């Protein structure tokens, strides 16, 4: 899973299952002179679906990585698109081809709790997350100094029940202006309208501070304390129109005891929220995730 020092392409696809799919895709890449660096498949036998992720590059690479190679790689990508498009259509595939040299533009949404946003920005700063944070949107002002430190445009957009529609309209305009591809809700405490969610299918990642489906909704740490659970959790998921019910990307848990009060759960939970959200964002940026039937395939 280590990052390559030369350009690669990731093909991510799903389609109705049938014999020969691996052979066709890998055969086509071989004929074009591509070298498969990593391939992974999955079949859902119940639903009869096939999923595949193939990371590939020009066969000459990584012998050298001169400008010539870059041009070769571009030609290879164009050639692949030309021959793969009709094949994909004939096999009823949904597919995307992403070049790992491109760094997607991301918007961070946050509210008053900044641990997730601060953590993500530090991971981008250090090069751990291959993306550009194009802008930060919050219904609170306290993230402003952090945004300034990282040199990221910040917009304060208060949200109240009667202004939600207008706030979302402003948000959508800014997202379009900044050509944002991925929205990360880093403990953003406002609910998004179905129309807003529909504008970014499988492109809004949220972190919920419980082990879903336990403790859906508000104040999950209070609910966990009330129930007397021995582990607390956090869940990152794609946002759909059903509250806290989108496809789960990652979950993790931490052990607690009878000594832990609600404040302790909140404190422990912050570490879960940070890592569970960061992993989801990293995997999305690595083009490892396919959604189907309200679940995710996460290729490793």
Window 209 to 228, contacts with its own copies (CB under 8 A): 211-215, 227-228
Pairing between strand 182-185 and 105-110? parallel
Q: Of these residues, 69, 244, 260, 286, which one is catalytic?
A: 244
Tell the smallest beta-carbon distance from residue 48 to its own copies (Å): 12
Which listed residue (15, 91, 174, 253) binds its own copies by CB under 8 A?
253
Q: Which part of the chain contacts its own copies (CB under 8 A), choosing from 38-46, 102-110, 185-193, 195-203?
A: 38-46
Tell the smallest beta-carbon distance from residue 97 to its own copies (Å): 18
Q: What 3 state SS string does the chain have?
A: CCCCCCCCEEEEEEEECCCCHHHHHHHHHHHHCEEEEEEEEEEECCCCEEEEEEEEEECCCCCCCCHHHHHHHHHHHHHHHHHHHHHHHHCCCEEEEEECCCCCEEEEEECCCCHHHHHHHHHHHCCCCCCEEEEEEECCCCCHHHHHHHCCCEEECCCCHHHHHHHHHHHHHHHHHCCCCEEEECCCCCCCCHHHHHHCCCCEEEEECCCCCCCCCCCHHHHHHHHCCCEEEEEEEECCCCCCCCCEEEEEEEECCCCCCHHHHHHHHHHHHHHHHHHHHHHHHCCCEEEECCEEEECC
Asked whether position 66 contacts its own copies by CB under 8 A, the answer is no
Q: Is 244 marked active-site? A: yes
Token pair 């496809």 is found at 247
Asked whether position 43 contacts its own copies by CB under 8 A, the answer is yes
Window 270 to 299, contacts with its own copies (CB under 8 A): 270-271, 275, 278, 293-298
Q: Which part of the chain contacts its own copies (CB under 8 A), choosing from 37-45, 96-104, 165-173, 196-204?
A: 37-45
Tell the smallest beta-carbon distance from residue 224 to its own copies (Å): 9
Q: Which part of the chain contacts its own copies (CB under 8 A), choosing from 16-24, 81-89, 159-167, 192-200?
A: 16-24
Which listed residue (1, 87, 195, 243) binds its own copies by CB under 8 A?
1
Window 92 to 151, contacts with its own copies (CB under 8 A): 114-115, 118-119, 122, 126, 128, 145-146, 149
User: Distance (Å, rounded) from C-alpha 77 to C-alpha 14?
Assistant: 20
Window 171 to 200, contacts with its own copies (CB under 8 A): none
Asked whether position 263 contacts its own copies by CB under 8 A, the answer is yes
Window 230 to 249, contacts with its own copies (CB under 8 A): 230-231, 233, 247-249
Q: Which is nearer to its own copies, 2 or 78 (CB)?
A: 2
Q: Which is nearer to its own copies, 168 or 250 (CB)?
A: 250
Active-site residues, by number, are 244
């Amino acid at each position: 899973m280590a990052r390559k020092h030369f350009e690669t392409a990731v093909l991510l696809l799903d389609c109705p299952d049938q014999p020969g799919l691996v052979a066709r895709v890998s055969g086509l890449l071989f004929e074009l002179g591509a070298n498969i660096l990593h391939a992974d498949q999955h079949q859902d036998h119940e639903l009869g679906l096939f999923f595949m992720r193939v990371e590939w590059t020009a066969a000459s690479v990584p012998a050298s990585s001169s400008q010539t190679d870059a041009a070769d790689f571009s030609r290879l990508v164009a050639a692949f698109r030309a021959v793969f498009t009709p094949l994909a259509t004939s096999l009823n595939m949904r597919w995307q081809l992403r070049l790992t040299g491109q760094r997607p533009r991301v918007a961070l949404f946050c509210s008053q709790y900044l641990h997730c946003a601060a953590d993500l920005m530090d991971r981008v700063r250090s090069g751990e997350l291959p993306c550009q944070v194009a802008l930060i949107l919050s219904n609170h002002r306290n993230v402003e100094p952090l945004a300034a430190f990282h040199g990221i445009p910040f917009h304060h957009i208060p949200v109240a029940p009667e202004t939600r529609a207008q706030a979302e309209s402003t948000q959508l305009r800014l997202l379009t202006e900044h050509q944002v591809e991925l929205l990360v809700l880093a403990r953003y405490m406002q609910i998004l309208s179905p129309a807003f969610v529909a504008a970014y299918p499988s492109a809004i990642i949220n972190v919920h501070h419980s082990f879903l489906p336990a403790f859906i909704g508000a104040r999950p740490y209070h609910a966990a304390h009330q129930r007397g659970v021995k582990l607390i959790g956090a869940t990152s998921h794609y946002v759909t129109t059903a509250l806290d019910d989108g496809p789960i990307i990652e979950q993790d848990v931490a052990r607690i005891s009878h000594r832990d009060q609600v404040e302790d759960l909140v404190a422990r939970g912050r570490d879960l929220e940070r890592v569970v959200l960061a992993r989801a964002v990293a995997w999305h940026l690595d083009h490892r995730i396919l959604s189907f039937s309200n679940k995710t395939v996460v290729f490793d």
